[in-house]
Amino acid sequence: MDLPLPTDTTPQKQLSKARFATQALFLVCGLGLATWVPMVPLAKIRLNLNEAELGLILLCLGAGAMTIMPFTGSLINRFGSRLIMLLSALMIAAVLPLLLFASTSLALAVSLYLFGVAIGAIDVSMNAQAVVIQERTGKYIMSSFHGLFSVGGLIGSLGLGFLLGLGLSSTLAIVVISGLLVFIAVSQYSSLLPRSEEKTVEAATLTIPKGRVLVLGLMCFVAFLAEGAILDWSAVFLQFYRNFNESISGVGFAAFSVAMAIMRMSGDKLIHHFNPKKVVLYGGIIAAIGIIIAISIPIGAITVFGFVLVGIGCANIVPVFFSAAGDLPDTSPSVAIAGVTTLGYIGQLAGPAALGFIAELTSLPLALGGVSVLLVIVAFTFKDK
């Protein structure tokens, strides 16, 4: 993937500050989303939900994201990505406590919907800003942004349990996490690139993926589905299929996040050394093998190792797709990314809900196994340019 040489006059210091600030917002998104992970089995038990019922409620998170994502590109064109990022981060912080204390299925569903709206908006806007910074820099750096998302995923998947282990009440623990999100977002807002620095084009209010955007979006659907499957079902799988205690059931997603963070931190160099097509090919195969290992060998440690392989394989697939979307000719990065992300999030947020229904009809291992087949298809289908 050849990136254009930097031709703008953005001062290097401003660009460096914007890069750091955008990475911080990726951290916020990952931390906020992953904090929900250890809450999933708790909600299942608290509300006495079977897998199909839990899957239906999880669908609300995806519905919220998909409600806002098709409109986010035009909102960014009008208001700038940094304002959308700030408002979304504040909304994530506000809704997290509702997820922990929802006492009815309806309350949890509504809270997840609002949470999905915030996650969807911040995901599109932070990637749009990252694409602009990458273009200004003139070299591939997208994986480093997504690496901070994975770091946030690691912190979030273990953070709530860690704070509770220190003796904090659940109320105080979630307030601490929400407060941290607010602090990061507010403190970094002024360092983000303003609307005047972003490429905008006339765009319809609603972004409907088509052409190359549609193809990339469908591939993102599969990559995000694999990530979403680990996000929403790893703790449930370990607790109910591998007899893990609920206090450590988040270790699968934590291991996945560590692997993904490490790979994404080195992803820019890997993509330069190989090329985007090979990264997607090898990554998809490795992730598929990881899922097969996790579901077929009934040993807890090996299951967690399988999740690690999924993290290694999936780590740089999504950054490649986002860079490809942001590099499409005659298309605003925010509009292209909104289209790709919309389809991607159907995979990450609504896909796991569908897995819940499949699991209820068959079994959770079989439902997860289907994801590995889709990963192999994407691995051999992606073409750079």
d(CA 341, CA 335) in angstroms, rounded, equals 10
d(CA 359, CA 239) in angstroms, rounded, equals 15
d(CA 91, CA 88) in angstroms, rounded, equals 5
d(CA 17, CA 20) in angstroms, rounded, equals 5
Task: Give the pLDDT confidence of 244-274 residue by residue, as tens digits.
Answer: 887 688 788 888 988 988 998 888 888 888 8
**Amino acid (one-letter) located at 302:** I
- Nearest Cα residue to 308 out of 267, 348, 253: 253
Alpha helix (H) ranges present in 138-169? 142-165
pLDDT band for position 10 (cuts 50, 70, 90): low
Structure tokens at 309: 């392989």
Tokens 């990252």 -> residue: 130
Average of per-residue pLDDT across 129-142? 86
pLDDT band for position 202 (cuts 50, 70, 90): very low
The Cα-based distances of 31 to 89, 182, 241, 285 in angstroms read 11, 12, 26, 27
Task: State pTM to two decimals.
Answer: 0.75
Residue with more model confidence, 197 or 312: 312
**Amino acid (one-letter) located at 26:** F
Task: Give the pLDDT confidence of 356-379 residue by residue, as tens digits.
Answer: 889 889 999 999 999 999 999 999
Output the CATH code of domain 12-189+206-381: 1.20.1250.20
Average of per-residue pLDDT across 7-35? 86
d(CA 234, CA 213) in angstroms, rounded, equals 30
HSE toward the beta carbon, residue 126, CA cutoff 13 A: 33
How many beta carbons lie within 10 A of that of residue 220, not counting itself? 28
Provide the pLDDT for residue 379. 95
Task: Give the pLDDT confidence of 165-193 residue by residue, as tens digits.
Answer: 888 888 898 899 999 999 999 999 999 99
